[in-house]
Chain A
Amino acid sequence: MNEAILELDSLVKRFGSRDVLQVERLVFQKGRIHGIIGPSGSGKSTLLRILNLIEKPSAGRVFFHGQDISLNNGRLAVQRRMAMVFQKPVMFNTTVFENVAYGLKVRGLRGPALRDRVRAELKTLGLEQLENQAARTLSGGEAQRVALARVLVTDPEVLFLDEPTSNLDPHNAALIEAMVRSVSRERGFSVVLVTHNIFQARRLTDWLSFLYEGKLIEEGPTPEILANPRDERTAAFVRGDTVY
């Protein structure tokens, strides 16, 4: 049974006089790992930022569980049911523990309940040794794992991942991929994954949307899109011919 968690309707995002996004309709189903692929500059990050309510659309509407959230009332409540891992993780200049605790603290959690949840999440990601380390001194892979722990601990319904492994070594990339797969299966998170990497899309996603110059060119179940792309631009991207 399918249920839409997020929907975009007649969405336009303009920077200056340039339309960087123009999407008629895009639906994200609950429980899926939904991949967004497309060349650099095609508007993938902007799309995630709009879904996460960090950026406002210039026109059009965004629905969360069928409710229009582009109106911006009750932004905070909706935003607290989602979370995003950025391509380049920004660590707060404090310990790993405090970084992971942040999302819970702003929600008002304190004391032993807070500590237990943070520790549990650190353990899940193999970070318990680093609890008291200064987050700014972490390696790229460790920082990205902390960034993931920091969002998972808040138990989001939707997880946005913006090229989460593009700067990582294969070991850490595999670790992040395994984590994403397991939270999707075991904790039932819906995931929107922006990726450049066709192989990663094949390994992780159930559904793929191909974005090109701000427009949704085609979409479908991952195996179909990868095996039989209908549009020539999708085909070129999937073959790896697109320069990006």
Chain B
Amino acid sequence: MHIIWMSLFVSGISVFLASALGIPLGTWLGLLPAHRVRWAAQIIYTLMGLPPVLAGLLIYLLLSSSGPFGVLKLLYTPWAMVVAQTVLAFPIVTGLTMIAVRSKDKEIRDTAVSLGASAWQSALTIVREARLAIVGAVVTGLGRLMAEVGAVMMVGGNIEGKTRVMTSAIVLETRRGNFEMAIGLGIVLLVLAFIINSCLYRLQGVPRN
């Protein structure tokens, strides 16, 4: 049970932090003309594919006792996993939000402006129209984090009762030859992903009728 709770806790907080930063940044980039943010966009797209072990390595070096943040003694704690996963989710949420906002930008902006919206009002309207895809960005980020094992193992250490999460437990049980346990955990992971996706899509506020 602790494993499931820890998975949800670490990935949930990480995706929340990544969204708190990534949604405003993605919106801002999406509203600017594409040619003006070309470099930023290319960097974000590259980071969206960042291998988790690389993010893990980076955070490991930063948090290890000889690293610049070593004094914080965060390595092999859940907070180290949160930092690594936030780094992983941030470009995903930012990039997908930017794409979502940009895809609505032209036609919605023209309509809003023609109806008398100010620059601010039309930007707000674009975000509201893109909400479905922005929720999609958050769900995608959460999905990637829940399924991720490389970074959490490196900076969390897979310590039982402390930093062991579902994916790292599956790796361990498989190595031990406990395939039933591994498969069971895998099913729990899938069911959780399904429930989370369903809940988030409920939140989207599609008009009734």
Contact = CB atoms under 8 A, between A and B. Distances in A.
B118 interface: yes
Contacts of B6: none
Given A86-B110, A134-B207, A134-B209, A79 B125 contact: no
Interface string A68-91: 000000001001100110100010
A113 to B, nearest CB: 16
Contact of B111 (A86, A98, A132): A86
Contacts of B113: 54, 79
B116 interface: yes
A84 B206 CA distance: 27
Interface in A119-173: 132-135, 150-151, 154
Interface stretch (A24-32, A100-108, A197-205, A225-233): A100-108
Contacts of B207: 93-95, 98, 132, 134-135
B115 A106 contact: yes
B180 interface: no
A84 B125 contact: no
A53 to B, nearest CB: 8
A82 B202 CA distance: 38
A107 B116 CA distance: 7
A102 B114 CA distance: 11
B112 interface: yes
Contact of B112 (A102, A133, A134): A102
Contacts of A102: 112, 115, 117, 125
Contacts of B116: 76, 79-80, 83, 103, 106-107, 154
A90 B107 contact: yes
Nearest to B110: A54
A52 interface: yes
B114 A76 contact: no
A84 B114 contact: yes
Contacts of A79: 113-114, 116
Contacts of A98: 207
B129 interface: yes
Contact of A132 (B115, B128, B209): B209
Interface of B: 107-108, 110-118, 121, 125, 128-129, 132, 206-209
21 contacts: A49-B110, A76-B116, A76-B118, A79-B113, A79-B116, A80-B116, A83-B116, A90-B110, A92-B111, A92-B128, A93-B132, A94-B207, A95-B209, A102-B117, A106-B112, A132-B208, A132-B209, A133-B209, A134-B207, A134-B208, A150-B115
Given A79-B116, A102-B112, A134-B209, 13 more contacts: A54-B110, A79-B113, A83-B114, A86-B111, A90-B108, A90-B110, A92-B111, A102-B115, A103-B116, A106-B118, A132-B207, A134-B206, A150-B115
